[in-house]
Structure 1
Amino acid sequence: MKQQNYHNHRKFYPPHHFIYLPLLILLEVYGVYKVWDDPANKLTWILFSIVIFLLFYLAFMTRQHYALGLQNRIVILEFRQRYFEIFNNRSEETVGKLKFDQIAALRFADDEEFKELLYRALHENISGDEIKRSIKNWRADRLRI
Structure 2
Amino acid sequence: MSMAERTQSFKSHTRFLPPFHFFVVPVLLINLLNAIGHLWLEPTGSMAFQVVVATALLLLALLSRSQVVTVQDRVIRLEMRLRLRDALPPDLQPRINELSHRHLIALRFAGDAELPELVREVLDGRLTTSKEIKMRIRQWQPDWLRA
TM class by shorter chain equals 0.7 to 0.9
Tell me how large the CA RMSD over aligned residues is: 2.2
TM-score by length of 2: 0.84
**What is the Cα deviation at residue 30 of structure 1?**
0.6
What TM-score do the two structures reach when normalised by structure 1? 0.85
1:1-145 maps to which residues of 2 (within 5 A)?
Answer: 1-39=5-43, 42-65=44-67, 67-87=68-88, 93-124=94-125, 126-145=128-147
Q: Secondary structure at the match of 2:78?
A: helix
State percent identity of aligned pairs: 29
Q: CA deviation at 1:92?
A: 7.5
In terms of fraction of residues, the more helix-rich structure is 1
Judging changes above 3 Å, is the alpha-carbon distance between structure 1 residues 71 and 85 closer, same or farther for their aligned structure 2 residues?
same
Q: 1:71 to 1:92 in 2, by over 3 A?
A: farther
More contact order relative to length (CA 8 Å, sep ≥ 6): 2
Residue aligned with 1:68, SS? helix
Query: What's the CA shift for 1:64?
Result: 1.2
Deviation at 1:85, TM superposition (A): 2.1
The answer for unaligned runs of 5 or more in structure 1 is none
Name the SS of the counterpart of 2:39 in structure 1: helix
Q: Deviations over 1:13-54 (max 9, x none)?
A: 222222221111011111111122234xx3322210111101
Distance in structure 2 (CA, Å) of the matches to 1:45 and 1:95: 54
Alignment: residue pair count: 142
Which structure 2 segments of 5+ residues have no match? none
CA distance in 2, matches of 1:24, 1:131: 36
Task: State the one-letter code of the partner of 1:11.
Answer: R
